Amino acid sequence: MSFGRNSLPTIVTLVMVVAFGLFGGLLLTRVGYLAVPAAVGLPDAVPGLRVTTVGETTWDTLLTDIVAALVLVAVVASTKRGFWATWGSFVLGMLLADLLRAAHTAFVAGEGLTGYLGYLAGGLAAGLLWGILLGWLPGLAALPRRRAVRQAGGRDEEQLPAGINSMG
């Protein structure tokens, strides 16, 4: 029971990256405005965790998306605090993931320094935007953990009795 409460933001983030891996292309084709960032070379939405390439993308693009998705999940998993800290860690994870994806796109495009910096700036903007738009989902998942901390007398999570933070 406490494992689920402590790792719920991580589970929500993992479900998000798997969902975007499975249905991200469908979402981008149904809601056309979401495809605009990808049309100009920016990372689109949340990095998808999938096992095959999409369309004519290459295997290195697939591996970059997988690593970016795992970076996002790992950053959210490292947070042990409440709503705002989890939301902030999701934004940070999206920034790191989209920087990685933008660097890969700039490398594949073979741009010079100006183009490379432009891709990185676009990756930062896209990561910040998607992190702010979707970070509330893992943030809401952190609320049961924060409530358990308050009920234990406001002590730090590392000092709580077993059962509230049994992950270590």
pTM: 0.78
- pLDDT of residue 1 exceeding 50, the answer is no
Greater confidence (17 vs 30) lies with 17
Give how far Cα 67 sits from Cα of 29, 91, 153, Å.
Answer: 24, 17, 39
**pLDDT of 159:** 52
Express each pLDDT in 14-26 by its tens digit.
Answer: 999 998 888 877 7
Average pLDDT over every residue of 142-167: 58
Q: What is the mean pLDDT of the chain?
A: 81
Percentage, residues of the chain above pLDDT 70? 76
For residues 99 and 124, the answer to whether their CB atoms sit within 8 Å is: yes
For residue 44, the model assigns a pLDDT of 78
Domains in the chain: boundaries: 2-51+58-159
User: 85-119 pLDDT, tens per residue?
Assistant: 999 999 999 999 999 999 998 888 887 888 889 88
pLDDT at 55 exceeding the cut of 80: no
- Between CA 46 and CA 73 the distance in angstroms is 11
Q: How many CA atoms lie less than 13 Å away from 152 in the CB half-sphere?
A: 17
Rounded distance between C-alpha atoms, residue 74 and residue 95, angstroms: 13
pLDDT in tens, 56-66: 788 998 899 99
Q: What pLDDT is stored for residue 14 in this prediction? A: 94
